[in-house]
């Protein structure tokens, strides 16, 4: 996948994480909202480097702990939002694979 495609996918994942985080906040599920917010922030850090001169510094090293945390909270989000979160996690795992050393 080309850098522009990865950057587009990262931006999409940021938007989805943000929307799901806001939804969970409105539903008073702050622990889920906060975890999704952390994912959004980590993706934003990656996206900032993808779009600039620091592309050689891009790693997905910060994603696994955040993903594990969210995986443990999926059931708390309910079935519909939980499925959306699962889809987001799959996308982010694919992005992380694209950012693995030797792939970029």
Does an H or E element contain 40, and which? helix 30-50
The domain ranges of the chain are 3-98
Q: Are 58 and 99 in contact (CB under 8 A)?
A: yes
Q: pLDDT digits over 50-101, tens only?
A: 877 777 788 889 999 999 999 999 999 999 999 999 999 999 999 999 988 7
> For the chain, what percent of residues have pLDDT higher than 90?
76
Please state whether 100 falls in left (phi above 0), alpha (psi between -120 and 50) or beta.
beta
């Amino acid at each position: 996948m080309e850098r522009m495609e990865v950057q587009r996918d990262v931006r999409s994942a940021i938007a989805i994480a943000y929307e799901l985080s806001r939804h969970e906040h409105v539903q008073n599920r702050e622990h889920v909202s906060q975890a999704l917010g952390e994912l959004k922030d980590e993706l934003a850090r990656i996206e900032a480097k993808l779009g600039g001169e620091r592309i050689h510094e891009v790693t997905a090293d910060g994603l696994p702990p955040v993903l594990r945390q969210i995986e443990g909270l999926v059931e708390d989000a309910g079935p519909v939002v939980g499925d959306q979160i699962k889809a987001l996690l799959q996308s982010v795992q694919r992005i992380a694979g694209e950012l693995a050393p030797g792939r970029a």
